[in-house]
Amino acid sequence: MEEGELARAARNGDREAFGRLYELNAACVHGVLLALVPREDARDLVQEVFLLALRSITRLEEPERFGPWVCAIARNRARDLLKSRRASTELLDDPPAPSAEDGTDDAEQAQRVMAELRALPEAYRETLLLRLVEGLGGPEIARRTGLTPGSVRVNLCRGMKLLRERLERAEGRR
């Protein structure tokens, strides 16, 4: 069943169809949230976003745009959370601190990459996280977020370029 058909069925009360929509969109929603809030919050917010979507799915006017709609809910919910915390400072690095057993170099490098990624403009940050962390391809990112495929390509290309530059600069400072 196509996503639009699933959304129509969910709008008519079919919980199984909504469950399938969750399966199809959870990774994308997680990536969108991860671009805005710390990892621990993103995990919790995924459930909250889908609960909000379930409660308001009857107001979804274009069922074939469920993915972009639920991503917009995710962005709004993340921003609401940040406002409620009066988060006016940059996100802190949130990967766990490396331990002796971890392969410390890898863990430290992951922290550096995440910090640099989080410092990118939101459009680049979101598409890069969806690509690099959630493993979504360009066409899938476009379909799920409502961006055009061209915009996704541009965001990924420019975002990767900026990320590389930032990482090279950071490496030079070390």
110 and 124: one domain? yes
**What pTM does this model have?**
0.77
Quickly count: other Cβ atoms within 10 Å of residue 133's Cβ.
Answer: 16
Burial class (CB in 10 A: 0-12, 13-18, 19+), 84: exposed
22 and 81: one domain? yes
User: Rounded CA gap, 3 and 57, in Å?
Assistant: 13
CA torsion angle 126 94 39 114 (round to 10): 30
101 and 143: one domain? yes
82 and 61: one domain? yes
78 and 103: one domain? no
Mean pLDDT per block of 10 residues along the chain (174 residues) reads: 94 96 96 90 94 95 95 94 66 47 67 84 90 91 92 95 90 75
Alpha helices in 35-137 (DSSP H): 39-56, 66-84, 104-118, 122-132
Whether residue 147 contacts residue 75, with contact meaning beta carbons closer than 8 Å, is answered with no
Whether residue 144 contacts residue 28, with contact meaning beta carbons closer than 8 Å, is answered with yes
pLDDT recorded at residue 85 = 80
82 and 101: one domain? no
106 and 67: one domain? no
pLDDT recorded at residue 63 = 95
State which residues form the domain around 43. 1-89
Whether residue 6 contacts residue 17, with contact meaning beta carbons closer than 8 Å, is answered with yes
pLDDT recorded at residue 90 = 47
22 and 100: one domain? no
Which of 34, 12, 28, 53 minimizes the C-alpha distance to 141?
28
Q: Say how many domains are in the chain.
A: 2
Element spanning 160, H or E: helix 149-173
